[in-house]
Structure 1
Amino acid sequence: MRNLTLRQLRSVQAISRHGTIAAAARQLGLTAPAVTLQVKQMEDDVGLALFDRTSDGMRLTMAGVAVLAAANAIETTLKGLSEEIDSIKGVRSGTIHLGVVSTAKYFAPRLIASFREAYPQIEVKLKVGNRHDIIADLKDYKLDIALMGRPPIEFPVESTFFGDHPLVIIAHPAHPLVRQREIGRDRLLAETIIIREQGSGTRAALEGFFAEHPDRLAERSVEMGSNETIKQAVMAGLGIAFISAHTIAFEVEMGRLAVLDVADMPIRRKWFAVCRKERIAAPAERAFKQFLVERGAKHLPLLDRLYPAETIEAQ
């Protein structure tokens, strides 16, 4: 295994990405026989096949998956080394591959814009996705940092807290519950409750809130797959919803949605910047995480702006 080369590892990465040796060769600027030779040399060294040759293309074996994971880790480390050397030279530049769960897309652009003001030479490439996809990309070294509410437990990560994440119940402004205070769980369960899909952190928090009434929640709930769809449904009068306060600031300000005064709410969760624990963070990544710790919370919508004045006084 000590004889493995970067060229061999990059051949495995390219074949895995494109599915064929010919396409991998085009990406690498090599001939197909040269890429085939790289793979054969690796398989001889490892003592196992790295790919299954199928009619649909090249598919990684279990050994190939392990080699690919190592190749991704090495590429990430080399990227960090390059940026570290640039930092030593006095170059404040680099690229951050940032992933955010869908709820964070409502404030992530403000964070990035403010960060770029302080570090104009650092490029931030943003990907927005659901929790499952963002965690998968973080695991596969496709992301340097991910912003989310619940750090994954499937693999070792380092999590940096940077702000509170309140979750609230919303309704149409004309809904009768808007005028009530300290609304209880039983009263909420008399309404149609619109909720996020399974696996969502928001869904998990709501299920915890109604832990003593799981069957009633299941009977009264309607599942929808995005915050935007949920907001539109509530504005159309289709029910009430449990949602991140950070997703509704504009609609509440415009009078299109109202936050209900529910007993034991808001539920307060936290926002974290998450990265793989074994990675060596590049200077650009360290600068971004430090920025989040020092200034990240300032770019999150303030919860007290979402409540009518009389509600704030009552609380």
Structure 2
Amino acid sequence: MKNISFRQLRSLLAIETHGKIVEAAKVLGLTAPAVTLQLKQLEAEAGVQLFERMAHGMYPTEAGRAVLSAARDIEDRLQLLGDEINAFKGVKRGRIAVGAVSTVRYFASAMQNAFAAEFPDIDLDLIIDRRTETIERLKNRTIDIALVGRPPRDISVRAAIFGEHSLVVVAPPHHPLVGQHGISKADIAGEHFIVRGSGSSTRIWFERFMAEIPGRAAGPNTEMELVEDIKRAVMADTGLAFLAAHSVAEEVQAGKIAILDVAGLPIRRQWFAVSRTDRAMTPVMTAFQEFLTRHSGQFLPEALPA
């Protein structure tokens, strides 16, 4: 494998991304025969077939996936080298891909605006999605940093705390429990709850919080994936909800939702900026992580009982 070139590896990555040699050639600015030749040369060097040629496109073989993984590692290292050279020059410019769980959307704009003002030469690509998809992107190296409420346990990561968030029980403003103090878990055990999906952190913490009430975590509940749908259901008097306080800050301020004073709440949790330990921190990644630590208070809203 000593004769493999960067050009061949980039062609291989382009074929994987676009699924067809013709499309890969367009992106690379080459002809289709040239890309085909590079693939054949790479397969000859490896001594194995790297792609299956199907009617609907090109699909990597098991050997192909191994070579693609090495190609991505090399691309990452070259990107890191470029960032390191820029750092030696005193340049803070480049691009960073950040994945974030869905509740980050409630402070995403403020965070992006503040970062852009401090680092105008760094392009921040922010992808907001469910936790499962965000962690999968981190595993697949399609993002540099993930913003999550708890670090994953199935891959080795470095995790930097950049702020806190609180978990609370919310209700429609006219609910009988609104205004009462020291509400017990037993008092809310019979209430209908609208809960997040089973993979979300708020769902996990709701189940932990209600664990001492036998069978309560299992129902009566209505499951909704989106926080916005849950908030609308609460405002429509469909039930109570267990949510991050910052996700309801606007509705609480407007008097559309109330936070109940439940004993043992709020549960204070931390925000983490997570990156893979098998990847060196680039200057751009370091700049973003340090920015979060310094300025999180500027864009992390809060809403707590009076």
Instruction: Verify: 1:144 aligned to 2:140, yes or no.
Output: no
Moved more, 285-294 or 231-240: 285-294
| Partner deviation per Cα, 1:187-242 (whole Å, 9 max, x = no partner) | 22211101111211111111111223463322211100111111111011000001
Q: Which residue of 1 aligns with 2:276?
A: 276
1:168 Cα offset (Å): 0.8
State the SS of the aligned residue for 1:163: strand
SS class of match (1:183): coil
What is the CA deviation profile of residues 271-315 of structure 1, one whole-angstrom value per residue up to 9, with x for unaligned ones?
011112122222121111111122223421134xx323xxxxxxx
**Following the alignment from structure 1 to structure 2, what is the Cα–Cα distance between the partners of residues 138 and 98?**
9
For 1:307 and 1:243, how far apart are their aligned partners in 2?
13
The alpha-carbon distance between structure 1 residues 284 and 213, as it changes in their structure 2 partners (threshold 3 A), is same
Q: Check whether the contact 1:148–1:273 (CA below 8 A) recurs between aligned residues.
A: yes
Residue 127 of structure 1 corresponds to 127
In structure 2, the CA distance between the partners of 1:59 and 1:148, relative to structure 1 (3 Å rule), is same
Structure 1, 231-240 or 24-33: larger mean CA deviation: 24-33
Correspondence list, 1:184-195, <5 A: 184-195=184-195
Cα RMSD of the aligned pairs, angstroms, is 1.7
- Structure 2 SS opposite 1:178: coil
Aligned to 2:261: 261
1:65 Cα shift?
2.1
Q: Return the offset for 1:64.
A: 2.0
Whole-angstrom CA distance in 1 between matches of 2:256 and 2:65: 49
The residue identity in structure 2 corresponding to 1:113 is: N
SS, match of residue 248 in structure 1: helix
Is 1:307 the equivalent of 2:305?
Answer: yes
- Give per-residue Cα distances to partners, 1:87-137, cap 9 Å, x unaligned: 221222111112211101111221222222222222211111111121122
* Aligned residues of 1:178 and 1:258 also touching (Cα < 8 A): yes
Comparing 188-197 and 87-96, the one that deviates more? 87-96
Equivalent-residue separation in structure 2 for 1:134 and 1:87 (angstroms)? 28
Q: Corresponding residue for 2:179?
A: 179
Offset from partner CA, 1:151-208 (integer Å, 9 cap, x none) = 1223222111111121111000101111222222222221110111121111111111
Counterparts of 1:169 and 1:196, CA distance in 2:
13
Report what 1:247 is aligned to. 247
1:55-102 CA distances to partner (integer Å, 9 max, x unpaired)?
A: 221112222222222222222221222122122212221111122111
Structure 1 counterpart of 2:208: 208
Aligned pairs for 1:1-315 (under 5 A) are 1-213=1-213, 215-303=215-303, 306-308=304-306
In structure 2, the CA distance between the partners of 1:107 and 1:79, relative to structure 1 (3 Å rule), is: same
Amino acid paired to 1:251: E
Deviation at 1:23, TM superposition (A): 1.0
SS of equivalent residue, structure 1 residue 45:
helix
1:256 match: secondary structure: coil
What TM-score do the two structures reach when normalised by structure 1?
Answer: 0.92
| CA distance in structure 2 between the aligned counterparts of 1:54 and 1:204, rounded to whole angstroms | 43
Moved more, 71-80 or 198-207: 71-80
Q: SS in structure 1 opposite 2:215? A: helix
Contact 1:273 1:289 in 2 (8 A): yes
Segment drifting more, 221-230 vs 96-105: 96-105
Q: Paired residues, what number?
A: 306
Separation of aligned partners in 1, 2:5 and 2:153: 32
SS in 2 for 1:237: coil
SS at match of 1:58: strand
Instruction: Name the SS of the counterpart of 1:269 in structure 2.
Output: strand
Q: 1:66 to 1:120 in 2, by over 3 A?
A: same
Percent identity of equivalent pairs: 47
Deviations 1:24-80 (A, max 9, x none): 111111222222222222223333322222222111222222222222222222122
Partners of 1:253 and 1:135 in 2: how far apart? 32
Distance 2:238 2:248 in 1: 17
Structure 2 stretches lacking a partner, 5+ long: none
CA separation of 1:91 and 1:253: change in aligned 2, threshold 3 A: same
